[in-house]
Structure 1
Amino acid sequence: MKAAVLHAPNQPMTIEEVSLAKPKRKEVLVRTAFAGLCHSDLHFIEGLYPHPLPAVLGHESSGIVEAVGEDVTYLKPGDHVISCLSVFCGACPQCTAGRTVLCEDTEVKMQPGQSRRLSWEKEGQMHQFLNLSSFAETMLVHEHALVKIDPEIPLDRAALVGCGVMTGVGAVMNTARVPVGAVVAIIGCGGVGLAAVNGAALAGASRIIALDRLPEKLELARQLGATDTILVGNEDPVQQIRDMTGGGVEYSFECLGLKATAEQAFAMLRPGGTATIVGMVPFGVKIELHGFDFLRERKIQGSSMGSNHFRTDMPRLLALWRQGRLKLDHLISRRIRLDEINEGFERLKGGQVVRQLIDFGIA
């Protein structure tokens, strides 16, 4: 199969012939239909997070099951699926406590460098990324990394739910549990941030303030439910939020993964408010906060993939899309070929696109 391979940080990926092992116990072979270019992938491309290389990146995807291994009971060939990096075992202390997104079983949720599913002839082991590696024509994954969906759902829309939409909506609905009538600020209007805007609208927030440096992103945010927008420039966004709201917001969501914006998310809270850090702050970077602010019961927390229970959450999100309440069509900036992946990530760095999808031509 053809796959995009990252050989070293800050170098273009190359399209290589890569081999997959045959499905073993509990494993599923999936023909990839669409794979999204996500900022999380970009963190690894730029070396902001470590990972063994060479590797096939990609984690936001949809496809069709081609074959299943022994003891696979949930799926069969021909099923339409969404992949999710939140692969779970169902038996560890986190899973049995209902936090499957934090599964601790490293035989199912294999650590970087542990998987031996990919290989190539050139120079030894090819590493799998987040137990998925969807920048490839096929994927070999554990059955608990997949959710079956209605085959009538377009697979391009379905792929979006596999990471960005689940992360943004889930941070609002699952992690922060925003109540009806809340006042919310969302920092960053990329794919995840726009999904968080939509999630806040679904939750019934009374005021949704979107912040970004690009006016076109703010226009999209309004289409997805933002009631107010702030074009970030020379003025202090924290003070702008305080002035607009009479003291700060009840809930803030940082969707960029930057030290400065993570600190701003906490600073713009009113007493008793909660900041949720959704973006991937670069590995090793520390966030600095004023200790005094905690005396007024302000909180800061992280969110992993929207604290999802993806086999339940993703079909529900797609049902909301069918009802016209979840806006997926707005998020697709363009479709590209696998061999256009490097140009796609250059566009993503520039901030002018929301989601680009690699179209593998099977749907």
Structure 2
Amino acid sequence: MAVAGESLSPQASDGSDRTSLVVKAAVVQQKGAPFVFEDLELDTRLRPDEVLVKVVAAGVCQTDVHVRDQALPVPLPAVLGHEGAGIVERVGDAVTTVAPGDHVVMSYQSCGHCRPCLSGNPAYCAVSFPANFGGSRLDGTNALHRSESAGGEEIHGHFFGQSSFATHSLATERNVVKVDPDVPLELLAPLGCGLQTGAGAILNSLKVPAGASVVVMGTGTVGLAAVMAAKVAGASPIIAVDIVAERLELAAELGATHTVNVKEEDVAARIAEITDGGADYVLEITARPEMLTLAVDALAPLGTAALIGGAPAGARAEVDMNALLGGRKVRGVAQGDSIPQLFVPQLIDLYKAGRFPFDRLVTPYAFDQINEAVADTRAGAVIKPVLRVGA
């Protein structure tokens, strides 16, 4: 598999000589501003490892909102979107795992040649932040710009190696996953980030065994994916924690054996009661420091707390150091320790078997409704909005 950042390929594998393509894209022009639609030019002179994808659908994630609001320092103006799914149109001359016409899910970017990548841990790539949040390829170049008549300004793209809030996306072989064409791409789009993160935390990162007790703090997309995966793993009890009663009801329908409403109960005491002293695994997804403290306090001896949610830069959490002497551990989890080309198809198989019903989380929106989808996400009115970018 080729590595991101190689030299330009003069011609795509389909023989096309075209060098640019006009795409409709949702652009963040400045901090906190609404997404604005523009017709941009996408340079389609594919590098050997690159893949041109016609985007069919793209999930909206809180990370997109955080970047729009500049809680994460992606340079603007930019095209975001990191849960894209679509159909391959062209591939660079070194690409072997996908071909034109293939249905693909796009996931996170990694370099492929650092120590974490070479050891099978691409989610912890040494250049993960610039590869996913840098607003360009790793070599600093960018494929998106305004037309010459509109000033020719470069627009930052390559967000998570895809920038899928656009009708076409330039991905790489490393971050595309060939998927079953019989399952709608509109449904599969969120597998590239949120769903694989939550499910992977249970099945890959923690490798939760049957009979282990699991607590999931936060029941958005990531948390509910973790609940479903915990049921797949045979965990018991599975305890969902949140402040929204409706989310907790859904968590119970998806596999949680118990629910705890933070507004109504003493969370630590209730977890201790249910687990007879403490949980084997606690997933902290809210990214609130006090909840990480609570996660450690809720552990049984030898238990593990996994931090999944991304906190603001510099956030600190207090941890009882003596609790750690009981063999308790705290670890971070990125992307569910997923190798997307292996794990995404596994999740699709679980869905088809009726064991991972993530379709219950998805609410579709027209592409033009992106700002409404973002507003509904922030308000908690929907769990996983998915934009219908193109049929």
Q: TM-score interval w.r.t. the shorter chain?
A: over 0.9
Counterpart amino acid of residue 380 in structure 2 = G
- Contact 2:109–2:132 at 8 Å: present in 1 too? no
Task: Tell me which of 263, 269, 282 is aligned to 2:293.
Answer: 263
Counterpart amino acid of residue 51 in structure 2 = V
- Contact 2:54–2:88 at 8 Å: present in 1 too? yes
Task: Tell me which of 335, 338, 353 is aligned to 2:364.
Answer: 335
Q: TM-score, normalised by structure 2?
A: 0.88
Please give the alpha-carbon distance, in whole angstroms, between the structure 2 residues aligned to 1:243 and 1:50.
42
Q: 1:326 to 1:106 in 2, by over 3 A?
A: closer
Please give the alpha-carbon distance, in whole angstroms, between the structure 1 residues aligned to 2:214 and 2:187.
26
Correspondence 1:11 to 2:33: yes
Mean alpha-carbon deviation: is it higher for 53-62 or for 7-16?
7-16
Please give the alpha-carbon distance, in whole angstroms, between the structure 2 residues aligned to 1:305 and 1:107.
13
RMSD: 1.8
Q: 1:319 to 1:282 in 2, by over 3 A?
A: same
Match of 1:155 in 2: 185
Match of 2:144 in 1: 118
Please give the alpha-carbon distance, in whole angstroms, between the structure 2 residues aligned to 1:28 and 1:361.
18
Larger Rg: 2
TM-superposed CA distance for 1:105, in Å, is 6.0
SS of residue paired to 1:230: strand
Name the % identity: 38
Correspondence 1:219 to 2:242: no
Please give the alpha-carbon distance, in whole angstroms, between the structure 1 residues aligned to 2:80 and 2:126.
22
- Contact 1:88–1:145 at 8 Å: present in 2 too? no
TM-superposed CA distance for 1:111, in Å, is 5.8
Please give the alpha-carbon distance, in whole angstroms, between the structure 2 residues aligned to 1:281 and 1:336.
28
Counterpart amino acid of residue 216 in structure 2 = I
Match of 1:102 in 2: 124
TM-superposed CA distance for 1:316, in Å, is 1.0
Q: 1:41 to 1:107 in 2, by over 3 A?
A: closer
Unaligned runs of 5+ in 1: none
- Contact 1:160–1:328 at 8 Å: present in 2 too? no
Counterpart amino acid of residue 358 in structure 1 = L
Counterpart amino acid of residue 104 in structure 2 = V
Q: TM-score, normalised by structure 1?
A: 0.94
TM-superposed CA distance for 1:110, in Å, is 6.4
- 1:1-363 maps to which residues of 2 (within 5 A)? 1-22=23-44, 23-89=46-112, 91-104=113-126, 109=131, 112-115=134-137, 116-121=142-147, 122=150, 124-128=153-157, 129-332=159-362, 334-362=363-391
Counterpart amino acid of residue 120 in structure 1 = R
- Contact 1:174–1:306 at 8 Å: present in 2 too? yes
TM-superposed CA distance for 1:309, in Å, is 1.1
TM-superposed CA distance for 1:18, in Å, is 1.5
SS of residue paired to 1:18: strand
CA deviations on 1:63-95 (whole Å, 9 max, x unpaired) are 000111222222111000000014352x33222
- Contact 2:285–2:309 at 8 Å: present in 1 too? yes
TM-superposed CA distance for 1:106, in Å, is 7.6
Matched residue count = 360
Mean alpha-carbon deviation: is it higher for 190-199 or for 111-120?
111-120
Unaligned runs of 5+ in 2: 1-22
TM-superposed CA distance for 1:226, in Å, is 0.4
Please give the alpha-carbon distance, in whole angstroms, between the structure 2 residues aligned to 1:352 and 1:275.
28
Please give the alpha-carbon distance, in whole angstroms, between the structure 2 residues aligned to 1:306 and 1:185.
16
